[in-house]
Chain A
Amino acid sequence: MTNVAARPKLASKARLKWDARDQKHVLLSPERGLVLNASAARVIELCDGTRTVDAIVDQLATTHEGSDRVQIARDVDEVLALLCARALLENTP
């Protein structure tokens, strides 16, 4: 993924919200709401500009013992690609 920053950070216009009604995370942005599954929400919570993509994968692998690191890396890439395509990551390198 060429466009994702080394330390991905959620764009300031996007806000993660817990929707108590449907018991799901929603990513709010101008006039949009993306309903997230639990693993996508966990990835986004870690996109705070302090962690590299590898560090995000490591963190998730540690907190979810027994899960496959390759699969986690694939999930992280997928979430980052989605955020990137919707311009929901900060553009900082």
Chain B
Amino acid sequence: MTAPRPYTLVAELTYACPLACPYCSNPLDFAAQRAELTTDDWRRVFSEAEALGVMQLHLTGGEPLVRKDLEQLAAHARKIGLYVNLVTSGMPLERARLAALRDAGVDHVQLSVQDARAESSDVVAGTVSFDQKMRVAAWVKELGLPLTMNTVLHRRNLDHVEEIVALAEKIGADRLELANTQYLGWALENRARLLPTQAQLDRAADVAASATKRLHGKMEVLFVKPDYFGQRPRACMDGWGRRFLVVVPDGAVLPCHACRAIPGLVFDNAREKSLAEIWERGDAMNAFRGEAWMPEPCKSCDRRAIDYGGCRCQAFQLTGDARATDPACALAPAHAIVERAREAAERSADADGAFVYRGSLVRERRV
């Protein structure tokens, strides 16, 4: 089939990160990956993405600030007209470097904040970080950059959404993303500790809805519902190989950041082939593009062009079959898996246990 136009490049520059969030979207075996792309590799990737039609660039990781060449990468991206989003934990960062990044061409900063208060935020981050994040937020505003605060929601902070909104207002965020955890990878490992009850979720959704209304035109408030609680799956990545290109630290080009865990897919590498060739003809990129791969009930579903059959990674991680209908869908043959997890969450089984933190890259390297 003819490849659609990609609009967004997610550049995962490194998997290294000073934080250890238990819902990290990096792969479970991130420490075993090959060497990172060089500065020149990334510059070429950005240019090739722009030529394909990409407009938005997300500089992310891991923690992109760990890359010493981040200023050079941002400068190149800006020069070729990409809108440069820096997606960061705010660590390690000093004001002078943030100013340099702004001058280089960063358009927008998305700062993660794990919870409304220092203690609970630091527990989730797995490291002392909240106060630094507040300093970074202030610098972002002082330097005149637009600020998005991003908080991943789960069982242990959903009851704090009111405080989280207040914090976003206090730090002057232009946007607030309240993104419920997606239960893949590390988050699936921690699902029993993270999955909320229906009542928690409903309350938080109400708070978010009234904040959205109250702050209209001042602060954009986005509430991303968890697919486990919907009747239909989410349109993962807006469809496989449709709008998003993800390039991971070692140069592999993916339709989604998590799909490397799916066995049997052949991933091309940006070191070896052009992005255009990979986007248009790559094996993995075409594996679930369009509708030809769909089983029933997706194949004849009137929502197949709305949700694209849901998330392939979730289908694989929950059923072992990446072609299965996403179990988040109430029509999926394997939907009972999701229902059982929700029932367990209502009973609070295991909910207070300790998190399995994302392994530290530094520690892995020392072994």
Q: Which residues of A contact B (CB under 8 A)?
A: 3, 11-13, 15, 17, 19, 21, 26, 28-31, 33, 84-87
* Chain A residues whose CB sits within 8 angstroms of the CB of B85 once the complex forms: 30-31
CB–CB B217/A87 < 8 A: yes
CB–CB A13/B216 < 8 A: no
Total number of B residues with any Cβ neighbor in A under 8 Å = 23
CB–CB A13/B107 < 8 A: yes
CB contact between A33 and one of B55, B107, B174 (< 8 Å): that residue: B55
- How far, in Å, is A55 (CB) from chain B's closest CB? 24
CB contact between B220 and one of A15, A84, A87 (< 8 Å): that residue: A87
Give the CA-CA distance A28 to B148 in the complex, in Å: 15
* Chain B residues whose CB sits within 8 angstroms of the CB of A3 once the complex forms: 217
Q: Which residue of A lies closest to B108 (CB)?
A: A30
* Chain B residues whose CB sits within 8 angstroms of the CB of A17 once the complex forms: 55, 81, 83
CB–CB A15/B216 < 8 A: no
Question: Which of A15, A26, A29 has most B Cβ within 10 Å?
Answer: A29
B273 within 8 A of A: no
14 A/B residue pairs, CB under 8 Å, sorted by A: A13-B146, A17-B55, A19-B55, A26-B55, A29-B108, A30-B83, A31-B85, A31-B148, A33-B55, A33-B83, A87-B174, A87-B218, A87-B219, A87-B220
* Chain A residues whose CB sits within 8 angstroms of the CB of B297 once the complex forms: none
Q: With A17-B81, A21-B5 as known contacts, state yes or no: A31 contacts B216, CB within 8 Å.
A: no
CB–CB B56/A31 < 8 A: yes
12 additional A-B residue pairs with CB within 8 Å, beyond A21-B53, A28-B83, A85-B217 = A12-B146, A13-B145, A13-B174, A17-B55, A28-B107, A29-B83, A31-B8, A31-B108, A33-B83, A85-B216, A87-B174, A87-B219
Q: With A26-B55, A28-B55, A85-B217 as known contacts, state yes or no: A33 contacts B7, CB within 8 Å.
A: yes
* Chain A residues whose CB sits within 8 angstroms of the CB of B217 once the complex forms: 3, 84-85, 87
- How far, in Å, is A14 (CB) from chain B's closest CB? 9
CB contact between B107 and one of A30, A85, A86, A87 (< 8 Å): that residue: A30
Give the CA-CA distance A31 to B85 in the complex, in Å: 8
CB–CB B55/A30 < 8 A: no
B4 within 8 A of A: no
